[in-house]
Amino acid sequence: MKPNVLLIEDNAATRFGFVRYFSKDGYEIFEAANLAEASAALAVSRFDIIVLDINLPDGNGIDFISIVRANDPCIPIIVITGQGDIPLAVEAMQRGADNFLTKPVDNAALAEFIRKTLEIGILKKQQSARKRLEKKDDFFIGEARVMQEIHNLALAAAACDIPILITGETGTGKGMLARWIHQQGARAAHECVEVNCSGLRGEMLSREIFGNARGAFTSADQDRKGLLDIADRGTLFLDEIGDMSIDVQAQFLKVLEDKSYRRLGDVKLLRSNFRLICATHHDLDSLVSSGQFRQDLMYRINMMTIHLPSLRERMDDLPALVAYLLRSLGSTSGVLSEDIMKILRDYHWPGNIRELKNILERALLLTPQGTTVRQAHFSSLANKRLYQPETKRLTVQEVEESHIKSVLEQSCGDIEKAAKSLNISRATLYRRLKQINA
Ligand SMILES: Nc1ncnc2c1ncn2[C@@H]1O[C@H](COP(=O)(O)OP(=O)(O)OP(=O)(O)O)[C@@H](O)[C@H]1O
Ligand SMILES: [Mg+2]
């Protein structure tokens, strides 16, 4: 892939010399004669590096650095300053430029600078991706045979570029696995763009995916990049693909077939070189049978399918998974009593690993430092059946307790969600849980 350079320079002769020299060197160069042209180019295209003159007809290049950095902390910027402008160069570096050269610019020196700065840019991107990944928890694989097979499949998936479909019940780690595959592959230095197809429907979804031209609809006051642009050279992760509406499916199929697309309201054909990963908790075959999902699209997106097992199907991994999650939640012990483990083993985990993690998190929050986690915090799992409607007359307090527990269970242990549907604050919910020893 040719590196894309955005050259911001008002002197036409300098630009001409630059383009002649660097096109030969295998660069794709976009010329901007002022900051307005540069901003417009940045709004619609992705660049690997910016070469920026400081004195421009419509403003100061130094201020432009801050604007670029606010949107993209990684893109390499080389600044060209006039002779004797060392204080300006220092300021440029403080604002986030990666390198500077003084005029008159020697193209050979600039070529070397660009090469080095591009390397720095890739390193910065890798670092920031690693940091993002470190912040999120790592993907637990475990010893179960099914997971070992999934591990091998995922490694194979990371090593190639074919579209992958990840299936599995809610909370089994589909999203985590998609990001993991992106991180292990050759595209890790570029973006992994996530789109949740169930959150956005119809035109909203196509606007997000394809972007729009200025004037495409009433509020479109400028050209806007779509997620396909941003995923260029990276990964496009379409989550909940089973919920994509039929009209967007047709548009998206066309992108996959033609490898090109148009922004809404634009005639220009654009290309994006992305790797596709899709996920769904639906059974796509039955959606195809009922006419809700296009068969031709299904064939295109699942060249390789990875099915994540439910937590019920990998109970052998439970102790290791609990230890892993407890540590990731900051617990020093990583072990629960045998009585608690029995409750966890006997439960059917409709919310899978997400639910397990939420329940462990809640138990840890309710456990004072230095004390062991109490079995009472897991009693809502063990007593599940007790909260079904009963014939005996209940007291107001019992009804409230039972209601809180059942809402919590429906929210798969997610305190925030439960508090929201109970219309009380998280703090009040924690207090009530403590009182009723849940
Ligand atoms: N293998 C795993 N290792 C560690 N944590 C995991 C794993 N799988 C799931 N989790 C935890 O469960 C949470 C839910 O995972 P994720 O969002 O990937 O599930 P999902 O299958 O995409 O669910 P949904 O279908 O509801 O979107 C994660 O935030 C993570 O905390
Ligand atoms: Mg998900």
CB-defined site of ligand 1, < 6 Å? 137, 139-140, 168, 170-176, 281, 353-354, 357
User: In this structure, are 180 and 258 located in the same domain?
Assistant: yes
User: In this structure, are 124 and 89 located in the same domain?
Assistant: yes
* pLDDT classification of 436: cutoffs 50, 70, 90: confident
User: In this structure, are 279 and 148 located in the same domain?
Assistant: yes
Pocket probe for ligand 1: among 353, 411, 412, 414, the residue whose CB has the most ligand atoms within 8 Å is: 353
What pLDDT, on the 0 to 100 scale, is given for residue 2? 76
Please say whether the beta carbons of 164 and 157 come within 8 A. yes
User: In this structure, are 402 and 299 located in the same domain?
Assistant: no
In the listed set 274, 307, 340, which residue is the last one of a domain according to the structure? 307
User: In this structure, are 202 and 228 located in the same domain?
Assistant: yes
User: In this structure, are 219 and 333 located in the same domain?
Assistant: no
How do residues 280-289 score in pLDDT, each as one tens digit? Answer: 999 999 999 9
Dihedral (Cα; 255, 261, 263, 268), 10-degree rounding: -170
Q: Which domain holds residue 391?
A: 313-435
- Other CB atoms closer than 10 Å to residue 436's CB: what's the count? 17
Structural domains counted in the chain: 3
Which of the 8 DSSP states describes residue 264? B
In the listed set 307, 326, 359, which residue is the last one of a domain according to the structure? 307
User: In this structure, are 83 and 171 located in the same domain?
Assistant: no
User: In this structure, are 323 and 226 located in the same domain?
Assistant: no
User: In this structure, are 389 and 403 located in the same domain?
Assistant: yes
**Residue whose structure tokens are 């006039």:** 82
- Which among 44, 38, 2, 40 is positioned nearest to 22, based on CA atoms? 2
User: In this structure, are 322 and 283 located in the same domain?
Assistant: no
Domain containing residue 67: CATH number: 3.40.50.2300
Pocket probe for ligand 1: among 139, 165, 172, the residue whose CB has the most ligand atoms within 8 Å is: 172
What pLDDT, on the 0 to 100 scale, is given for residue 386? 41
Ligand 2 geometric centre to CA of 351 (Å): 12
- The CA-based angle 226-256-174, given to 5 degrees, is 75
User: In this structure, are 256 and 362 located in the same domain?
Assistant: no
How do residues 176-220 score in pLDDT, each as one tens digit? Answer: 999 999 999 989 989 899 988 887 777 778 888 888 888 767 666
The rounded distance, in Å, linking the Cα atoms of 416 and 414 is 6
Nearest CA residue ID for atom 12, ligand 1: 354
How do residues 376-423 score in pLDDT, each as one tens digit? Answer: 888 888 766 444 444 456 677 777 888 888 888 878 788 888 898 888
How do residues 226-266 score in pLDDT, each as one tens digit? Answer: 889 889 999 999 999 999 988 889 988 998 988 788 888 88
Q: Does residue 363 carry a pLDDT above 70?
A: yes
Domain containing residue 158: CATH number: 3.40.50.300
Ligand 2 geometric centre to CA of 385 (Å): 29
Residue 198's alpha-carbon distances to 136, 241, 245, 280, 369, in angstroms, are: 23, 8, 9, 10, 40
User: In this structure, are 164 and 303 located in the same domain?
Assistant: yes
> Across the chain, what does the average pLDDT equal?
85
